[in-house]
Amino acid sequence: MTVSATTPMPAISAPATTGSTSSGTTSALDFTSNFNTFLTLLTTQIQNQDPLSPMDSNTFTQQLVSFSEVEQQINTNNNLQSLIQLQTANETISSLPLIGDQINYTGASAPLENGQAQFAYTLPTAAATTALAVEDSQGNIVYNTTGSTSAGTTNFVWNGVTNAGQQMPDGGTYTLAVVAADASKNRITATIQSTGTVSNVAVSNGQATFDIDGISVPMTDLISVKTGTTATK
């Protein structure tokens, strides 16, 4: 292979350094391949340069520094990914004792357990009207009623009886919708939390989660644990 001193070095773009572990591995392989090609071309050009017109080494030095920085970034990203996976595994293991306990968590969906679905909603300001609706897993409204108009947190427990008087069986997932407005009919946004029994802990999409009777709840949504209230199904 002969490369003259005037032959320009090919541009070598730096690979992306963000993403999952698999993309990080691909980036590292791409980097190694590009860097080896660059070194081969650089060495060949140095060997075949015109001694009367030596090449400018600044460009090569800058590229070497750039490649070194990319390599360090790839290594850092891979190490961070490993730490995140280790932390997620530790969170999952440490949460195993909560299986069978009831927890309060951020979210509007709760299971019907022992004939009850337990919720709480918080109004940031007092409302003129508050309407509550319980929806089944298909989005059908099975029960509705009026709610508290006071600012602050109000507990709401649905007994599983629909508007038609039918008692729904345990095991279904139900969602609470809160529609509140002030005297000028401006919408007031309520925050909702739910209560359910932890049936399992797992890792879903790289995130530690609680399984609440089929409802996947990220552990970051945990509000409190109702100690001493292990549910019996």
Note the pLDDT of residue 106.
95
What's the pLDDT band for 201 if we cut at 50, 70, 90? Answer: confident
> Is 6 part of any domain?
no
> Is 13 part of any domain?
no
Q: What gap in Å lies between CA 224 and CA 205, rounded to an integer?
A: 23
Q: What gap in Å lies between CA 3 and CA 232, rounded to an integer?
A: 79
Same domain, 70 and 129: no
Same domain, 124 and 183: yes
Same domain, 77 and 102: no
Note the pLDDT of residue 29.
61
- Domain count for the chain: 2
Same domain, 86 and 104: no
Same domain, 58 and 80: yes
In sequence order, what are the residues at sequence separation of 6 or more whose Cβ sits closer than 8 angstroms to the Cβ of residue 204? 216
Residue 231 pLDDT > 50, yes or no?
Answer: no
Q: What gap in Å lies between CA 196 and CA 157, rounded to an integer?
A: 12
Note the pLDDT of residue 77.
73
Which phi and psi (to 5°) does residue 67 adopt? -65, -35
CATH value at residue 195: 2.60.40.4070
Q: What gap in Å lies between CA 37 and CA 41, rounded to an integer?
A: 6
User: Looking at per-residue confidence, does 65 or 125 come out higher?
Assistant: 125
Q: Which of 3-17, 32-46, 90-104, 188-202 has the highest mean pLDDT?
A: 188-202
What's the pLDDT band for 173 if we cut at 50, 70, 90? Answer: very high
pTM over 0.75: no
Note the pLDDT of residue 82.
62
Query: Last residue of some domain: 94, 115, 134?
Result: 94
Residue with tokens 């790289």: 206
- Inter-residue contact 233 to 171 (CB < 8 Å): no
Share of the chain above pLDDT 90, in %: 42
Note the pLDDT of residue 35.
61
Residue numbers of the domain that contains 134? 98-226
User: Looking at per-residue confidence, does 172 or 10 come out higher?
Assistant: 172
- Inter-residue contact 134 to 176 (CB < 8 Å): yes
> Is 3 part of any domain?
no
Residue type at 74 in one-letter notation = I
Same domain, 114 and 127: yes
Same domain, 87 and 102: no
Same domain, 58 and 153: no
Query: Last residue of some domain: 94, 114, 140?
Result: 94
Note the pLDDT of residue 34.
62
> Is 128 part of any domain?
yes
Same domain, 112 and 218: yes
Same domain, 179 and 65: no
Average confidence (pLDDT) over 186-205: 89
Same domain, 78 and 27: yes
> Per-residue pLDDT tens for 42-80?
677 667 766 666 656 676 667 666 666 766 776 777 767
Same domain, 102 and 214: yes
Query: Last residue of some domain: 94, 123, 153?
Result: 94
Residue 12 pLDDT > 70, yes or no?
Answer: no
What's the pLDDT band for 23 if we cut at 50, 70, 90? Answer: low
Note the pLDDT of residue 6.
44
